[in-house]
Amino acid sequence: MPPVPLDPTTLHPMPDQPRVVLLKPLVTSPLIEVGEFSYYDDPDDPTAFETRNVLYHYGPEKLVIGRFCALGEGTRFVMNGANHRMDGPSTFPFPVMGGSWTDHFDLITGLPGRGDTVVGNDVWFGYRSLVMPGVRIGHGAIVASGSVVVDDVPDFAIVGGNPAKVIRYRYAPEDIARLLDVAWWDWPVEHITRHVKTIMSGTIDELEAAAPGRG
């Protein structure tokens, strides 16, 4: 009997662990896109991810998260709606407070931003990571616990600190190129299921040999 893959529409993939949710079947906002099998772990209420973990999301910038990402408890994304004007004497957002101050709403519309926040595939976020607006995080990256990510993160880099800096790369440049080329996260889920051991613990040579059409 062939191995049976996990159903990507399952909200709680571990029935005895309600703290873990798959994000794709959870999110409803058109401004959030999540790939299959990416999950969030929180002992409090992981189903509140859209409101508790994606902050100041007033649009139009999107949060895009790839497949097979692991988001530890307290991982948060600050979106561009958190921006305030900084080109005048005060940064206080008077118009959003109401009253006659709303007459000056044009002062807070169209604030400059960095665009969408984009997370690649197979990214691991440690406990209470914080990602600032418009950051792009590469495939296979690891964000250490407590990090504040303010700049783009390269593919297969390990970053940590506040602000987060590259600690090291998981592979040499030539091997990163091979991993990006094989892109196991884009394989059909049935094929991934047959080769989980190689994906988790194999060599790059073994991974390439297992690719669809070869393995």
Residue 44: give the domain boundaries.
20-170
Banded model confidence at residue 215, pLDDT cuts 50, 70, 90: low
Tens-place pLDDT, residues 144-158: 999 999 999 999 999
Q: State pTM to two decimals.
A: 0.94
Which DSSP category does 115 fall into? -
The one catalytic residue in 57, 84, 104, 139 is 84
Residue 1 has pLDDT above 70, yes or no: no
Residue type, 5: P
Percent of the chain exceeding pLDDT 90 equals 86
Statement to judge: residues 154 and 85 lie in one domain: yes
CATH code for the domain in which residue 149 is found: 2.160.10.10
Residues 117 and 35 grouped into a single domain: yes
- Residues 6+ positions from 55 with CB-CB distance below 8 Å: 76, 77, 78, 79, 82
User: Do 154 and 176 sit in the same domain of this protein?
Assistant: no
**104 among known catalytic residues:** no
| Tokens coding 214 | 């070869």
Q: Under a CB-based contact definition with an 8 Å cutoff, are residues 82 and 133 in contact?
A: yes
Other beta carbons within 10 Å of 211: 16
Residue 108 and residue 50 share a domain: yes
Is residue 146 domain-shared with residue 182, that is, in the same domain?
no
**Shared domain check, 82 and 51:** yes
Is the domain of 149 the same as that of 185?
Answer: no
